């Protein structure tokens, strides 16, 4: 079961792309070629990212923003260039609007605590959707416990699509924020963020978007979307783990008090009082993840060089092929059949627990995800304890889907 | 039978298989043969944390003879449970605490013991030992 070459012309040179990802050459479990279908959990890193981080440590490792020496100046330059790359990625107006965080989760928590908490009164409402990742549920639940606010949940249908009209009808004068996922990690659904933002604007309610699963797959323009906060993680889009970003409009960020205190976020400290630093630094207390930020910037460059057009083209073909083949399997149910979908197929197979499927296909070299995907309310909605999930990146090829399906067939035979 | 004898028997049985598929198939079959639990047993109080699949474990008996009943909604994990029950159920609390589960490594399933594997073998072993400790304290 070797990976067969089937060079794709015109749209995207998949094999040239694969060569940029050293881990794809790995063999696992008795020399089986690795088939990596767990991209929605974390994507792999291209050489460009790995080498840039390595280069930082080898040549110019230093702390940023404070040093007068050459290494610190170089490190600061690269760190801020990375911020500009993230600004370009999201089509933000200014680098002052890009705050580095540990990832999407920290970005959501920052908005919850620094933006929304001071504005909340008992009985106020936060509106999210039924398909949120725990990272866009739990920070709001914690905030509700702290303030007496109430969490409201907009429903989805059996296809896993957001019911926008229902969401609209749930907005009232107590609604203080709408939190929604752009692309669902558990279902693949691409949500109509622009439409929701238009509706929210009429009621003057800010919208936070969890974009962790969006930036790997589609061009995101925060200005066109009309949202107020956009949260992303580098590691989902071929960058390192432990770094991400919050985008918010400058006027909003100016109004927000700092969340964490420490170094980097001040201009002057005395025991009588402290003056906070300018945007975005007032939200970046402590020495930041410098190599991570540099890798993040390179991941953006990687996406720009590869081009979303080719990425989308390849991923749509993979999704279409996998969906078609998997639908034909007796007893297999795809969870999440939205019309607009990212390259994710979540499924259950009659008589086989997802955990067993994952364990067996792993022995055939195929890495898939099993479990609740940090979206337990989604599992509850579809009344399944867990699903198995394959998720694709543009470096995946059709033949890998064949290998996966063959392994899935073996798993089914073993579990029958 | 002692814990040691039970472990030796398992190691011998698994010695008959030369590849992972046969070992897993055997585990799956063992899991299928595990007696089903009553609905009354499959409650949250008996659910073990730290497993990707659902694992229910019920402890009965006393320090002289501890009896475990368990099952899972996943087949491979049920097979692992069948092995654990063969080794540990019906033994004294002291014997349980004095023994090491070396059979897991010897039958080539040691990756199942890694704490990062979310399949619950670790959680089950820890719970069995904890119950043995509790039984000794109560004795």
Q: How many CB atoms lie within 10 A of CB B45?
A: 7
The pLDDT of residue B116: 56
The pLDDT of residue B105: 85
Q: Where are the alpha helices (DSSP H) in A250-387?
A: 250-255, 290-306, 308-327, 354-363, 376-381
Q: Has B119 been annotated as catalytic?
A: no
Nearest CB among A371, A410, A415 relative to B28 is that of A415
Exactly one of B6, B10, B27, B51 is catalytic; which is it? B51
List of chain A residues whose C-beta atoms are within 8 Å of the C-beta of residue B74: 353-356
Question: Does residue A5 have a pLDDT over 60?
Answer: no
CATH number for the domain whose boundaries are A14-33+307-415: 3.90.1150.10
Nearest to A296 by CA among A237, A210, A246: A237
The pLDDT of residue A103: 97
* Confidence band, pLDDT 50/70/90 cuts, at residue A266: confident
Instruction: Report whether the peptide linkage leading into residue B59 is cis, meaning its omega lies within 30 degrees of zero.
Output: no
The pLDDT of residue A67: 82
Please tell me the distance from the alpha carbon of residue A210 to that of residue A206, in angstroms, as a whole number.
13
List of chain A residues whose C-beta atoms are within 8 Å of the C-beta of residue B49: none
Q: Which of A367-381, B100-114, B122-136 is least confident?
A: B100-114
How does the average pLDDT of chain B come out, rounded? 89
The pLDDT of residue A4: 53
Q: What is the ipTM, given to two decimal places?
A: 0.83
Beta bridge partners of A232: A245
Q: Of A160 and A4, which is predicted with more confidence?
A: A160
The pLDDT of residue A372: 87
Beta-sheet strands, E only, within A70-109 = 98-101
**Helix, strand, coil % in chain B, rounded to nearest 5:** 55, 15, 35
A355 and B20 in contact by Cβ < 8 A?
no
List of chain B residues whose C-beta atoms are within 8 Å of the C-beta of residue A371: 52, 118
pLDDT tens, position by position, A87-131: 999 999 999 999 999 999 999 999 999 999 999 999 999 999 999
Residue among B72, B75, B81, B109 with most chain A CBs within 10 A, to mutate: B75
Q: How many structural domains is chain B composed of?
A: 1
CATH 3.30.70.2860, applies to A50-305: no
For residue A368, CA distances in Å to A162, A240, A394, B49 come to 26, 20, 16, 22
A355 and B21 in contact by Cβ < 8 A?
no
Question: Does residue A6 have a pLDDT over 60?
Answer: no
**Residue B95's domain spans which residues?**
3-138
The pLDDT of residue A293: 98
Q: Could you tell me the CATH number of the domain that includes residue B15?
A: 3.90.1010.10
B119 and A352 in contact by Cβ < 8 A?
no
User: Using a CB cutoff of 8 Å and minimum separation of 24, what contacts does B80-84 make?
Assistant: B80/B27, B80/B31, B80/B109, B80/B112, B80/B119, B80/B120, B80/B121, B80/B124, B81/B31, B81/B34, B81/B55, B81/B124, B82/B27, B82/B30, B82/B31, B82/B33, B82/B34, B83/B10, B83/B27, B83/B30, B84/B121, B84/B124, B84/B125, B84/B128
The domain limits of chain A are 14-33+307-415, 50-305
pLDDT tens, position by position, A39-74: 999 999 999 999 999 999 999 999 998 888 999 999
Q: How many CB atoms lie within 10 A of CB B98?
A: 11
| A-to-B residue pairs, Cβ atoms closer than 8 angstroms | 42
Token readout for A25 is: 């050459």
B73 and A353 in contact by Cβ < 8 A?
yes
Question: Does residue B134 have a pLDDT over 80?
Answer: yes
Q: Which of A150-164, A227-241, B49-63 is least confident?
A: B49-63
* Confidence band, pLDDT 50/70/90 cuts, at residue A262: confident
């Amino acid at each position: 079961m070797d990976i067969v070459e089937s060079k794709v012309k015109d749209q995207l040179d998949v094999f040239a792309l694969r060569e940029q990802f050293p881990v794809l050459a790995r063999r696992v479990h008795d020399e089986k070629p690795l088939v990596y279908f767990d991209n929605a959990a974390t994507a792999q890193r291209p050489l460009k990212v790995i080498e840039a981080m390595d280069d930082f440590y080898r040549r110019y490792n230093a702390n940023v923003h404070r040093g007068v020496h050459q290494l610190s100046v170089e490190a600061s330059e690269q760190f801020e260039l990375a911020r500009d790359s993230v600004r370009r990625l999201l089509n933000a107006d200014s680098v002052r609007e890009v705050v580095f965080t540990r990832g999407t989760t920290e970005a959501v928590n920052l908005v919850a605590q620094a933006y929304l908490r001071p504005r909340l009164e008992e009985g106020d409402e936060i509106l999210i959707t039924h398909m949120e990742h725990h990272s866009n549920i739990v920070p709001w639940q914690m905030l509700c416990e702290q303030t007496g606010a109430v969490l409201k949940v907009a429903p989805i249908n059996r296809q896993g699509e957001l019911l926008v009209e229902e969401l609209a009808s749930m907005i009232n004068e107590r609604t203080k924020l709408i939190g929604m996922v752009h692309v669902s990690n558990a279902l693949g659904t691409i949500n109509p963020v622009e439409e929701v933002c238009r509706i929210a604007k009429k009621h003057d309610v800010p919208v936070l978007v969890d974009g962790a699963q969006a930036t790997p797959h589609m061009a995101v323009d925060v200005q066109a979307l009309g949202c107020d906060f956009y949260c992303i993680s580098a590691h989902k889009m071929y960058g390192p783990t432990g770094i991400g970003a919050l985008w918010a409009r400058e006027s909003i960020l100016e109004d927000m008090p700092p969340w964490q205190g420490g170094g980097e976020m001040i201009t002057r400290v005395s025991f009588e009082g402290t003056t906070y630093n300018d945007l975005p630094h007032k939200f970046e207390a402590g020495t930041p993840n410098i190599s991570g930020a540099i890798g993040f910037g390179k991941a953006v460059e990687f996406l720009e060089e590869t081009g979303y057009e080719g990425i989308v083209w390849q991923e749509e073909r993979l999704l279409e092929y996998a969906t078609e083949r998997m639908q034909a399997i007796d007893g297999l149910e795809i969870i999440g059949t939205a019309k607009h979908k990212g390259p994710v197929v979540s499924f259950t197979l009659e008589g086989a627990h997802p955990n067993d499927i994952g364990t067996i296909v792993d022995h055939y070299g195929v890495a898939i995800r099993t479990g609740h995907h940090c979206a337990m309310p989604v599992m509850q909605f579809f009344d399944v304890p867990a699903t198995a999930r394959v998720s694709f990146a543009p470096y995946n090829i059709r033949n890998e889907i064949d290998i996966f399906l063959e392994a899935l067939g073996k798993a089914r035979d073993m579990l029958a | 039978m002692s814990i040691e004898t039970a472990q030796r028997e398992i190691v011998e049985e698994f010695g008959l298989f030369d590849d992972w598929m046969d070992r897993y198939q055997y585990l799956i079959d063992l899991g299928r043969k595990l007696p089903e639990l009553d609905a009354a047993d499959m409650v949250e109080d008996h659910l073990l944390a730290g497993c990707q699949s659902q694992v229910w474990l019920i402890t009965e008996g006393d320090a002289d003879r501890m009896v475990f009943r368990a099952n899972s909604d996943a087949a491979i994990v049920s097979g692992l449970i069948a092995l654990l029950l063969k080794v540990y159920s019906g033994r004294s609390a002291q014997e349980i605490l004095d023994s090491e589960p070396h059979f897991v490594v010897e039958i080539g399933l040691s990756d199942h013991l890694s704490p990062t594997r979310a399949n619950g073998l670790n959680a089950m072993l820890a719970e069995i030992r904890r119950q043995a400790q509790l039984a000794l304290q109560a004795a």
